[in-house]
Amino acid sequence: MDEPLEAAYLLSQVGAEEEAQRLRAQARGLLDQELALLLPGLPRNARVVDLGCGIGLLADALSQARTDLQVLGVDADALAVQEARRVFGHRSHLSFRAGSLQAGPAEGEELADAVILRLVLMHQADASAALQACRAWLRPGGQLHVLEGDDRAILAEPAGAWLERILALMQTVQLRRGGSRRLGLDLAGLLAQAGWRPAGLSRLDFDLERLGPVFEGVFFPVADFHLKQAVRDSLCEEEEAAFLLDQLRQGCRGGFSRAKVPLFHAWTRSEGP
Ligand SMILES: C[S@@+](CC[C@H](N)C(=O)[O-])C[C@H]1O[C@@H](n2cnc3c(N)ncnc32)[C@H](O)[C@@H]1O
């Protein structure tokens, strides 16, 4: 890559093997719902670019569900691209390459009919600039789809002040790493700020009732990662972090009667024919 990338998340920084497993579990819990949102609007034979594709799960699911699509996954993390290629590299109409969303398409690369950013914006130091950078990837009239979480909209019952404390610590850690875990509720405003006119908004839920033990496997490691960092950053004591994680584990293992982690979807179109 031409220039060093500033992002709050790179697979290689968060424990590649465990994180790949977590991403697979997360995808299993949500992909069907996401495909139902994305696929109907994609034109026939569309070229789709999944920016920040990670280990390629969404890119692969798109190309499996619609064999007319040409799907390119791009990720700033060479390790993620290597893993995506290892697992899905043999498929036709699906390719992966290293690159940052800010760098735009490679020389001679075709522009996209649709760009997807899934859980990538939350890791950018400047979300508005990242949304502006997406413009360079799209042909006129092309679609930009953004999928983001927002910890402010997490629902877990019954839970006490301990959950608020976990979420506050996670956000402080994320802000320090150069991102934010509180973007999903503001997607329309962020798009508008970056010069896009939002065309549609919706919400999906990662649901404890539906997912059972998968819920813990997806949500717990993220909290664990952030709280360990919070201890290293002296934002809390080790004992408090252990207490908070224990509460969360108990919640996931039967303590919660209801729990939902939302994923917000916003889409827009680049100006043109
Ligand atoms: C939380 S993961 C999400 C991966 C995938 N989109 C998914 O939903 O499973 C965020 C991914 O974005 C990549 N990433 C972060 N900043 C990026 C940037 N500026 N350009 C390209 N990729 C980036 C990371 O390397 C990581 O693989």
For 194-203, write each residue's pLDDT tens digit: 999 999 999 9
Q: Per mean pLDDT, which range of 22-26, 140-144, 196-200, 218-222 is the poorest? A: 22-26
Residue minimizing CA distance to atom 13 of ligand 1? 52
Please give the distance, rounded to the nearest whole angstrom, from the Cα atom of residue 10 to the centre of ligand 1.
7
Q: What is the pTM of this model?
A: 0.92
Closest CA to 244 of 220, 267, 271: 220
76 Cα to the center of ligand 1, angstroms: 7
Report the pocket of ligand 1 as residue ranges, CB < 6 Å. 5, 7, 9-11, 23, 51-54, 57-58, 75-77, 80, 100-102, 118-120, 123
pLDDT tens per residue, range 230-272:
999 999 999 999 999 999 999 988 899 998 989 999 999 998 6
What would the pLDDT profile of 8-19 be if each residue is shown by its tens digit? 455 666 566 777
> What percentage of residues in the chain have a pLDDT greater than 70?
93
CA pair distance 132, 118, nearest whole angstrom: 16
Centre of ligand 1 to C-alpha 118, Å, is 8
Whether pLDDT at 4 is above 50? no
Pocket test for ligand 1, best of 1, 51, 53, 75 (most atoms within 8 A of CB): 75
pLDDT confidence tier of residue 210, bands split at 50, 70 and 90: confident
